[in-house]
A and B are shown apart, each in its own frame.
Chain A
C-alpha cells in the first residue's frame, strides 16, 4: 500500500513522461516491449535499458527506487527460469567453467549425464540476454506505471481496444484491493490483540485458511452491496464512464518516434540493417 502511495506521488510529478497523453504512452510502450522481446543483440538490449533509465531521470523519478523496483524481482523470476540454461546438462555448448567430472556413462534415473558438468559460453550468453530482455521490458512497464496515475492508465486501455466492462472491472478491482487489504489487516490485528499464547504451526495454518474463506465470503457480500449501490444510481448493466483525453502534437511526435525506434531496433537486431 505504501508503494502505491509512492507511485501515486511519482505520477503527479511534473516530468516528461507525466506530461504525455496516456494513450500515446501506452501504445508507444507496448510497441517498445514488443520490439524488445524480438531483439537478440545484448548491446541493443542494454541500449533500451539505458533509455528507460534516461526517461526515468527526465521524468523526475528517483533512479535508485526505479532500479531497485525492477531488479528486486528479476533475479528471482527470470534468474530461476534462466538458471538451467547455463549448464551443459540441458543445452550443450563450449565449456566456460568446469564444475564436476563424472565418469563416462553416468545416469540419473532414466537420464544419461555427460562426462563432466560445466557452465557453457552459449548458455551464459543466452541467460544474460534473457535476463536483460526481461529487465528492459519490466523497466518499460514500471516506467509506464510510475508515470501514469492508475485510473488514467486503466482508461487508456480503451484506446487499444479493451472493452469498457473490463476497464471498469479493473478499476473497481484496484479500488477494492485496498479495502480488502485493510480488512485482512484488521482481522490479523484483532487476533494479535487477543492472543495470549501462540498456537502450533497446524493451528495457525488452520486459522489462516479459515480467514481466507471468511475474506472471500465478506468480499462476495460486499460485491453484492456495491452492485445495489450502482443500481441505485441508475446503472443497468451498460457501463458509461467519463473519458477525457486530449492528444497534442507532442503526443503524436513521441508516439511516432517510439514506434520508428522500435522498428529500427528490430531491423538492426535481425541484421536487416547493419
Chain B
C-alpha cells in the first residue's frame, strides 16, 4: 500500500535556536484519521506545516507519496510537477482563518485553489458551486471575508481547501473558537469525509472531538517529542499520560467513556490532597 507520509527522525528548529520538533518518526497510510494531540507550544502546528511541505526538516527525512520532500527540489523549481501533484492531494486548513482568506469574495477564495491547478474557468465555476453547496455557504458567495463571522470564516476555509478535492486533509485546531453548533457540524463533516476514504490529520487539544474524528492518536510531549502513537481510545483512557503531557488537569473527570472538565473552586465544592 502506498504510504502518504513517512517521517524519519525529523527535528525542526526555528532560526537555528528554538526547538519545535525533536526526533519525530511516524507513517501515515491512506484513509487514516489521526489526531495530533499536545499542549500549547508542543509543536503540533510546526508538524502540520512540515507535513504540508511549507517548511523542511532541519534534521531527518520526510517522504510524501514515496518521494522525499527537500527544499532544493520542492521549492526551487517554479513549475515543479511533483509539487503540483502534492498540492492537489494535500489540503491544509490553517488555525487562523484570516491568514487563509486573502481573496476579495468568498467565491474567489474558493476558486483560488482550482485556478492554480490550471482548471478551465468553467470547471472552476462548477467545482466552486458544488463545494459551496456541500458546505452550505452558497448564500455567502459574494460576501467579503472581513464581513463574515468566525464560524462562517472557518467554513469558507474548509470549502476553499476541499475545492482542490484533496485526498489528505490537514487541520490545525479546527474547532478552536467555534460555537457548539458549528463544532458539531465540523465533526460530522470530518466523519463523513473519513467515511469516503480521505486521510485526515487534525492537530488539537480538544479531547472531546478527538475520539469522534480519529482512530489513531499521536501525543506530543512538552519536550517536542512523540510520547505515544496508538489507538485513540487507549490514549484517552490513559489518565497518567494525559496528565503528564498537560492535556488534562487534575480536575478533569471521566464519566463512562467521556472525559469531562468541571470548573470548580477548591473551597467546599471539591476537596482533595495535592501531591506538593
Please report A residues at the B interface, Cβ cutoff 8 Å. Answer: 8, 150-151, 154, 171-172, 174-176, 178-179, 182, 222, 225-226, 228-238, 240-242, 244
* Residues in chain A near residue B164, CB distance under 8 A: 233-234
Q: Are B108 and A233 touching (Cβ within 8 A)?
A: no
Q: Are A236 and B54 in contact (CB under 8 A)?
A: no
Smallest CB separation, B107 vs chain A (Å): 8
Mark out the residues of chain B between 112 and 130 whose CB falls within 8 Å of any chain A CB in the assembled complex. Answer: 112-113, 115-118, 121, 124
Question: Is A244 touching B121 in the complex (CB atoms < 8 A)?
Answer: yes
B78-86, B191-199, B221-229, B252-260: which lies at the interface: B78-86
A228, B49: Cβ atoms closer than 8 Å = yes
Residues of chain B having any CB pair with chain A under 8 Å:
49, 52, 54, 78-80, 83-84, 87-88, 91-92, 94, 96, 98-105, 107-108, 111-113, 115-118, 121, 124, 144-146, 160-161, 164
Q: What residues of B have a CB within 8 angstroms of the CB of A150 in the complex?
A: 104
B44 CB to closest chain A CB, in angstroms? 16
A-B contact count (CB 8 A): 87
B99 engages A226 (CB within 8 Å): yes
Inter-chain contacts of B49 with A (CB < 8 A): 228
In contact, A234 and B88 (Cβ under 8 angstroms): yes
Closest to A179 in B: B98
* B96 and A175 form a contact (CB under 8 A): no
The complex places the Cα of A179 from the Cα of B102 at a distance, in Å, of 11
Select B115's contact among A151, A175, A228, A242, beta carbons within 8 Å: A242
A29-B108 Cα distance, complex, nearest whole Å: 26
Contact yes or no, A229 B117, CB < 8 A: no
Instruction: State in angstroms the CA–CA spacing of A231 and B52 once bound together.
Output: 10
New A-B contacts (14) at CB < 8 Å, excluding given A150-B104, A240-B115, A241-B108? A151-B105, A175-B101, A175-B102, A175-B104, A176-B102, A179-B146, A229-B99, A231-B54, A231-B87, A234-B117, A236-B80, A237-B78, A241-B112, A244-B121
Quick one: which of B54, B84, B146, B160 has the most chain A CB within 10 A? B146
A171 touches which of B94, B96, B103 (Cβ 8 Å): B103
B146 contacts across to A, CB distance below 8 A: 175, 178-179, 182
With the chains together, A235 CA to B124 CA distance in Å?
Answer: 15
The interface residues of chain B lying within 8 Å CB-to-CB of A230 are 102, 112
Least CB distance, A167 to chain B, in whole angstroms: 11
Taken together as a complex, chains A and B put the C-alpha atoms of A218 and B152 apart, in Å, by 24
Q: Are B161 and A233 in contact (CB under 8 A)?
A: yes
